[in-house]
Amino acid sequence: MDLVPFASVDRTALRWLRTAESPAGFSLLSGDATVASLAWNARGGSLATAATADGAWTFKRAGFLAPTITVRLRDQPQPLAKVTAHLRSHEIRLREGPSYRLQHVSHILPSWKLVSERDEEVLHIEPAAEHGSLRGGAVVVSSQSDSSETLLLIALCWYFIVLAWFEDELVEALVPFEGPDAPVRLEWPT
């Protein structure tokens, strides 16, 4: 798949589409043009690679109670960016640049927004589910987001959203059924 430069596409029609199930893979499209890809290296792992026409980054989550995500240029030891996860808002810090907040837009819709230090919305991402599975999502880029790091932020935010989605699916699978459709539980008499 040939990746086209981000500067050459219509940024008003960006969308992520799932291209692989296991390990998960997604492509960022603008019309028929593929701008970026994001693929997990192994099923169940957190290491993923985002590729663009200009290069590639790796994303890796570490930690449990205070998780962080590190971003590196592929084959480079120094982190380029770091995401610190908090309960309501998540911070993205670029090594040589500004920081951003990634947060849910509302509790009803699964939308996310990325906000700059000046409280300006940079990205708006809406994941789309099909039959309970994450299939893709729409990306709206602010007209003022013309910086070279915009594509990195789009890929990093999507990585975070997909990881959160997969973790939610895992938790839901572990919760026992309750209510009228719950399986009958047999209990030993005491």
In a domain, 183, yes or no: no
Instruction: Determine phi and psi for 57, rounding to 5 degrees.
Output: -125, 155
Looking at residue 35, its amino acid is V
pLDDT per residue as tens digits for the range 3-23 = 999 989 988 889 999 999 889
Which CATH number fits the domain that encloses residue 140? 2.40.160
In a domain, 37, yes or no: yes
In a domain, 174, yes or no: no
Contact call for residues 67 and 167 (beta carbons, < 8 A): no
**Chain centroid to CA 88: how far?**
16
C-alpha to C-alpha distance for 57 and 13, rounded to whole angstroms? 23
Q: Which residue has the tokens 């980054």?
A: 57
> Which domain range does residue 106 map to?
6-169
174 pLDDT more than 70? no
In a domain, 188, yes or no: no
Count of domains observed in the chain: 1
pLDDT per residue as tens digits for the range 89-148 = 799 999 988 999 999 888 777 899 999 999 999 999 999 888 778 888 999 888 766 666
In a domain, 184, yes or no: no
C-alpha to C-alpha distance for 27 and 162, rounded to whole angstroms? 13
In a domain, 79, yes or no: yes
